[in-house]
Amino acid sequence: MSETIGFIGLGNMGHPMAINLLKAGYNLRVYNRDISKTQDLVVAGAKRGVRPRDAVEHGGIVITVVANDEALEAVTSGNDGLLAHLGPGGVHLSMSTVSPATARKMQQLHEQQDCFYVAAPVFGRPEAAAARQLWIAVAGKAEAKQRVHRILNVLGQGVFDFGEEAANANVVKISANFMLASAMETMGEAFTLGEKNGIDRTKMYEMFTQTLFACPAYQTYGKRIAEKNFEPVGFNMQLGLKDINLVLDSAKAAQSPMPFASQLSNRLLAGIARGRGERDWSELTRGISDDAGIE
């Protein structure tokens, strides 16, 4: 395969995704703010840029996997940004978790330049990205989605289409992250109740995840929470708080009350205040132990 695509953002998620594209035979032009993260990709055959625009091929496809709305705006806008150089017919495939409002703005900006913005946030931790086991929600114009379909199949195990409004995919993504954080809070409270009554947390985990809650979210995060072993860090508390606050902002805009999201925001904020901001977001459950007088 000789197609060249751009790839911007080589963090915990973006790096293994870029590696998989190289393995699949794509030519890559890569950009990352921390240039050291591009080194092994360059050794593997990628071309490195020093500005976001350097990753863009006129009329081509460029993928962004960045931390937040501000980072997406930074690599997209301005003279050094990707949008000014993407050109008519080009596709910006945004695989970041950003607000629906930003996705709407981005789609409009790209349409004004006669190019396409496709939102395709991913579901899964870095190990899932490395194993090409991500789930992907996609939304954008049909012709652009068709063009990136093969790329999405390289990166994930399944793609779910949510229509032509790019923001739809981001609503789905932040809703899922809210549900994951809710599951972690629930497990933390349940395991702590058991511990306070002299019950082995891991035995509770083993029963629950083999019976009523035999699903990846409970099995993956439940083991960490039951054992209080939060390494390695896949998604930190700072990013978790960002996503839950995106949920709250979207809920307010839609006049859709989400009281439990407020509780999760406070839980994550408390963890960050205790110096755990760079720790895995599953460590939010340490706050439950703190409240219960265990730690």
pLDDT, residue 3, reads 87
Q: Report the CATH number at residue 200.
A: 1.10.1040.10
pLDDT at 248: 98
CATH of residue 119:
3.40.50.720
Residues 27 and 153 in one domain: yes
Q: Read out DSSP for the chain?
A: ---EEEEE--STTHHHHHHHHHHTT-EEEEE-SSGGGGHHHHHTTPEE-SSGGGG--TTSEEEE--SSHHHHHHHHSSTTSSHHHH-TT-EEEE-S---HHHHHHHHHHHHHTT-EEEE--EES-HHHHHTT-EEEEEBS-HHHHHHHHHHHHHHEEEEEE--S-HHHHHHHHHHHHHHHHHHHHHHHHHHHHHHHTT--HHHHHHHHHHTTT-SHHHHHHHHHHHHT--PSPSSBHHHHHHHHHHHHHHHHHHT---HHHHHHHHHHHHHHHTT-TTSBGGGGGHHHHHHTT--
Contact between 29 and 54 under an 8 Å Cβ cutoff? The reply is: yes
Tell me the per-residue pLDDT of 203-224, one tens digit each, with 9 for 90 and over: 999 999 999 999 999 999 999 9
| Three-state secondary structure of 130-172 | HCCCEEEEEECCHHHHHHHHHHHHHHEEEEEECCCCHHHHHHH
Question: Hey, what amino acid is at 108?
Answer: Q
Instruction: Tell me the HSE value of 150 on the side-chain side, using a 13 A CA sphere.
Output: 9
Q: Which pLDDT score, from 0 to 100, does residue 44 have?
A: 94
For residue 124 the two structure tokens come to 């899964």
Q: What is the pLDDT of residue 36?
A: 93
pLDDT for the residue numbered 56: 96
User: Mind listing the pLDDT tens digit for each residue in 221-257?
Assistant: 999 999 999 999 999 999 999 999 999 999 999 999 9
Please list the residues that pair with 135 across neighbouring strands: 123, 158
Q: Are residues 78 and 155 in the same domain?
A: yes
> What percent of the chain is modeled with pLDDT above 90?
98
Residues 13 and 158 occupy one common structural domain = yes
Are 148 and 193 contained in the same domain?
no
pLDDT value of position 1: 52
- Domain range for 214 is 171-291
Q: Is the pLDDT of residue 115 over 90?
A: yes
Q: Please report which confidence band the pLDDT of residue 2 belongs to, taking 50, 70 and 90 as the band edges.
A: low
181 and 131 both lie in a single domain: no
The last residue of one of the domains, among 164, 190, 215, is 164
* Torsion of the alpha carbons at 62, 67, 73 and 74, rounded to the nearest 10: -90
Between the CA atoms of 20, 24, 26 and 31, what dihedral angle is there, to the nearest 10 degrees? 10
* Confidence at residue 252, expressed as pLDDT on a 0 to 100 scale: 96
Share of residues in the chain with pLDDT > 70 (%): 99
Distance CA 216, CA 96 (A): 22
pLDDT, position 23: 95
Report if pTM > 0.85: yes
If asked whether residues 104 and 180 sit together in one domain, one would say: no
pLDDT tens-digit readout, 166-215: 999 999 999 999 999 999 999 999 999 999 999 999 999 999 999 999 99
Contact by Cβ (8 Å): 69, 99: yes
**pLDDT average, residue stretch 112-128:** 96
**Which residues, other chains included, contact 121 with Cβ-Cβ below 8 Å and sequence gap of 6+?**
94, 95, 96, 97, 98, 136, 137, 169, 170, 172, 173
Which amino acid would we find at residue 199? I
Q: Are both 102 and 224 inside the same structural domain?
A: no
**Residues designated catalytic:** 173
| 41 pLDDT more than 70 | yes
Q: What is the mean pLDDT of residues 25-50?
A: 95
Name the domain count of the chain.
Answer: 2
